Amino acid sequence: MAVAKQKALSRDRGSQPLWVWLMVLTAHAGRCVYCDEKPSETLEHEVPLASEAGREIWWNLVPACDRCNGWKSKKSAARWAADMKLHHDHPKVGFVRNALPRHAVEGIKNRIAQVRREIQDAARRTWFERHYGHMRTPRLRREKHEEVARCTRALTRYPYPPWESPEARHSEEHCMRILCCGYHQKGSRVEFFTLPQADHEDLKRMAYAKGLWIGDLLGALLKPAIEEWRQSQAAEDDEDSLRSA
């Protein structure tokens, strides 16, 4: 029975949708939660699937590098950290074959708690699902990592996490965050413009400094000019009316 259960759990490995891969591997600034140095490369089960409590579900996943994932093996994060602490206190006994530096081991508990809060943030989780939930999950691990890299680059364009911006309106299906999807605001529409590269870079810096989505910044800059034009048009219409009278 135990063998059959383990085979079933093994089949579930890697079955997470793309948006979960992105949500987890971009957490903790894209670093391994264990060593806090190497880039995250895999969805690591904090509580291993080999244990009774282990589950193949997003809230049991943390970002890890392949080395730490292999060193941790079938232990829980808490058990592995405890064994590494004993290894540093009693190196000759050999509690673990491989151990992280002491300073990294001592921070594992707090880093995992921080990553758990980040991954379990409902607004953040919903943002990833709304933006990437429709995308096919790549079969190859390399392709998943390419999608993570693209997502990371996209997130760097925003002055702050887009899921922290207000919603234009509520939707059960689409992202409505103003910072990333402001064009969904009622009565708004998308316009395209061209700028020299240097001006575009300065515009991005200006938007970052003001904490605005570029579209909102352009709208704010254009509103005074549009209002001035409206007033001039109204004045001209008044003059035309007087002449006609």
pLDDT tens profile 142-155 = 999 999 999 999 99
3-state SS, residue 61: strand
Q: How confident is the model at residue 218 (pLDDT cuts 50, 70, 90)?
A: confident
The reported pLDDT for the residue numbered 55 is 57
Residue 167 binned pLDDT confidence (cut-offs 50, 70, 90): confident
Q: Is 218 helix (H, G, I), strand (E, B) or coil?
A: helix
The position carrying tokens 């996490």 is: 161
> Which residue range forms the structural domain that includes residue 18?
2-155
223 and 129 fall within a common domain:
no
Tokens linked to 226 = 């549009």
Residue 176 forms part of a structural domain: no
Q: Are residues 30 and 151 in the same domain?
A: yes
Specify the number of domains making up the chain.
Answer: 2
Residues 143 and 201 occupy one common structural domain? no
Residue 188's pLDDT band, with cuts at 50, 70 and 90, is low
Phi and psi at residue 161, to the nearest 5° = -55, 125
Residue tagged 């890299």 (tokens): 149
One-letter amino acid of 209? A
Rounded to the nearest 5 percent, the helix, strand and coil shares of the chain are 60, 5, 35
pTM for this structure? Answer: 0.72
Final residue in a domain of this structure, among 98, 124, 155:
155
pLDDT in tens, 88-112: 999 888 788 889 999 999 999 999 9
**Is the pLDDT score of 113 beyond 60?**
yes
Whether 163 is covered by a domain: the verdict is no
pLDDT band at 49; cut points 50, 70, 90: low
Which residue, 124, 155, 186, sits at the end of a domain? 155
**pLDDT, averaged across the chain:** 84
